Every structure is written in structure tokens, then in C-alpha cells.
């Protein structure tokens, strides 16, 4: 666990290490929709990551709220764009916010009493960076172009993680134009959107992680 101020806790979970335990808990912890979603994954690795992430967040939310994991009721908030009930996940009837991200064998979970978004990304191959860099904010694209080739994938991964963490926090996800918001490519995030604290999260080598938290006063990780 990595504390981030008084309101937020961040958790890193290894999907390989926790796979068997999560599989044992899943039948009584996950709701029917989650069990159907897990069963729909054709690849064992994808199913394991999904089950570990969703069992873990229910266990952690239950501990925070003082209820059992199977008593946590998850719903979808209205979509900010269209109002339909397919927005960010939320806890029914509780003043708790959470966000989940999965990449490789690592799951990142953030839980707070204000809106929060987290993201973890594996450092991509150079050809992926070349393909996607143009979708970023023009300043970010220019910064990446100036990076040495050997550091460009890492810089891209931390930029993407920051951006997606923020987009998860506001509830739009990747439906919002990636070029709209500037988060920076450097070792520290840019100032970020007003009203939001944006910081990097310490994650295993080969990954980049970030968290966005609603905050009147900026908080830096």
C-alpha cells in the first residue's frame, strides 16, 4: 500500500501470486455480471487478471466500509457524455470512490473518499510509441519527439498512464480526446487540469503508473 495524503490508498497486487486465492473467493465475492464477464475471457491470463482485480477491490472496499466483500454493491455512474449508465464504476450507497487498472501481471487499485483514477501501463515497444504519439497533446508529442530513442518508450508510458488516470477519474475514459489535456512527459507531471492532483505511482520496473485525485489543493506524489 502506498498512502497518498489522508484520503487515498493505492494498492499494487500481483495477479500471478494472488490468482489461486482470488479464484477460490470469486464464486462468493463477485456478482453475477462479474462472473459472466470473467467466464467470457478466452485467455486464462486475461481471466486471472480480471478476477484478481475485482476480488481484490471488493475485499479492500469491504475493509474500508466495514462490510464483507460480498456485501459491496457496485454500480455504473451515468456517462458524462450521454447520461447512459455505463460510466465509471461506483459503490452504491457509500461515500467511497475507486479505480482499477490492469497491465501485464500487475493490478493497481486506488480507493478514496473523493473521485480518483489510476492507471498502470507496461512500457511499450518503440513501434507502438511511434504509432500513438500523434494522438497526444501537441506539447507532449513535441516533448516525446525530443526524447532520446532509448528513453522514449518509458516517457510515453508515464504520459499515457497520467492521461488515462485523469480520464478515468473524470469518468470519460478514452472517449475524451487524448490531445485535449496536457499532463507532461517528464519525470514529474505537468500542472494538470485545475482542481485535480496528478502524480506518478511507484510500480515495478518495466511499468509506469499514475493517479489522479480530486483536490482543491494540489498534491504531489
Domains of the chain: residue spans and CATH = 2-214 (3.90.470.20)
Half-sphere exposure of 110 (CA within 13 A, CB side): 31
pLDDT tens, position by position, 127-171? 999 999 999 999 999 999 999 999 999 999 999 999 999 999 999
At 65, list the grid cell. 466500509
Phi, psi torsion values for 137, nearest 5 degrees: -55, 145
pLDDT tens, position by position, 65-102? 999 999 999 998 888 878 777 788 999 988 899 999 99
- For residues 111 and 94, the answer to whether their CB atoms sit within 8 Å is no
Phi, psi torsion values for 79, nearest 5 degrees: -65, 130
Query: Of 211, 171, 172, whose CA–CA distance to 192 is shortest?
Result: 211
Q: pTM for this one?
A: 0.90
Amino acid at each position: 500500500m502506498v498512502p497518498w495524503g489522508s484520503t487515498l490508498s493505492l494498492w499494487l497486487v500481483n495477479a500471478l501470486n494472488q490468482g489461486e486465492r482470488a479464484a477460490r473467493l470469486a464464486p462468493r465475492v463477485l456478482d453475477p455480471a462479474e462472473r459472466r464477464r470473467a467466464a467470457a475471457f478466452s485467455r486464462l491470463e486475461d481471466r486471472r487478471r480480471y478476477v484478481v482485480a475485482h476480488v481484490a477491490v471488493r475485499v479492500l472496499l469491504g475493509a474500508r466500509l466495514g462490510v464483507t466483500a460480498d456485501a459491496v454493491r457496485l454500480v455504473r455512474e451515468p456517462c458524462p457524455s450521454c447520461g447512459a449508465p455505463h460510466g465509471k464504476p461506483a459503490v452504491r450507497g457509500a461515500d467511497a470512490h475507486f479505480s482499477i487498472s490492469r497491465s501485464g501481471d500487475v493490478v493497481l487499485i486506488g480507493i478514496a473518499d473523493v473521485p480518483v483514477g489510476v492507471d498502470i501501463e507496461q512500457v511499450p515497444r518503440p513501434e507502438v510509441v511511434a504509432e500513438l504519439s500523434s494522438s497526444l497533446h501537441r506539447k507532449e508529442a513535441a516533448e516525446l519527439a525530443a526524447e532520446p530513442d532509448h528513453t522514449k518508450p518509458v516517457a510515453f508510458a508515464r504520459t499515457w498512464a497520467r492521461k488515462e488516470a485523469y480520464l478515468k477519474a473524470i469518468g470519460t475514459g478514452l472517449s475524451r480526446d487524448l490531445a485535449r489535456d496536457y499532463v507532461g512527459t517528464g519525470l514529474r507531471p505537468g500542472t494538470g487540469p485545475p482542481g485535480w492532483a496528478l502524480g506518478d505511482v511507484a510500480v515495478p520496473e518495466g511499468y509506469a503508473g499514475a493517479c489522479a485525485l480530486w483536490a482543491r489543493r494540489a498534491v504531489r506524489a
